[in-house]
Structure 1
Amino acid sequence: MPESIYPRFLCLSLLLTITGCASLTALKPTHKVEEAPAVRKVEKTEEPGAKKPELPVVKKAEEELSLGIHNYDEGNYKIAAGNFQNALDGGLASIGNQITAHKYLAFIYCVSRERLACRGEFKQVLKLNPKFDLTPAEAGHPLWGPVFREVKAEDRRKKRDRK
């Protein structure tokens, strides 16, 4: 009997048993149902009803960072900004990845003409790595290049004044 019909017969069988009816023969289909070709079954390694294990928080944060970079590259800046913020909030493990997320957020804010937010993200980058520098291509960008240079100069001045 095909598997798709079996649960119905099982329910009917149970119903008939409860109501006292002795047989299901009157309810069997009168037409022949063709069997589907045999398909190799893959054994399940999970128990039925078991929940899938949660991804570690760090893994989720890393995935958000990757999604953010992808969305940024596709020009989906608003979505990318959400991905980067989720990655940071989710606990990116490596400082390098944290820097990457802040740097991309700075780029997005600069392009969106949100200069203060852009500066704030660059400050976070320099807080994580005071020796950080943009690549030559990034530094030459007309929107965020000058902002980064300003933030970096301020950071150097503050360090010099503390000495």
Structure 2
Amino acid sequence: AKFYRVSGGSTQHKGVVPDIAMPSMIDTTTIGEDTYASSLPWTTVSPSFFKPTGEVSPALIAELQKKSAVHSAGNPLYQSYLRDLGLLDQIRRKKTVSLQESSFKSESESIKQIEKQWVREPDQKKDSSKDVILNEATSIVSDLAIVSSAQHQSIRP
């Protein structure tokens, strides 16, 4: 079955495209609908007539993106997360595997350490103060509330 949004775009392959993308441990080249041979292609139909509500302006999105960049650049834990993601991405992109046992073990250990540091099992109690993505998302929502409130206050007579 194929599903479409009121805007006319299908839900296949693209999903919800975020205004502010967060880095993820998930390897989208191996996980996701578009990795299946049987997945349906993204298509469009005529959009429905609808009036969007609560739409965020492109200018506000740009401001939130800038604020997010400032938050994340000043957060050592977030920067550590990005470094680990970079290392993980480097390992994933390799086309060869070392036949030297020490190199292979070292690489495998690096992957395990990164996963241990950042990935939690669903039944594991989570320390939300160390969840860099949750904390950054919270900062973005907070910024949205502050900026929206300031804009709303400036509009009132």
TM-score by length of 1: 0.19
TM-score by length of 2: 0.19
Which of the two has higher C-alpha Rg?
1
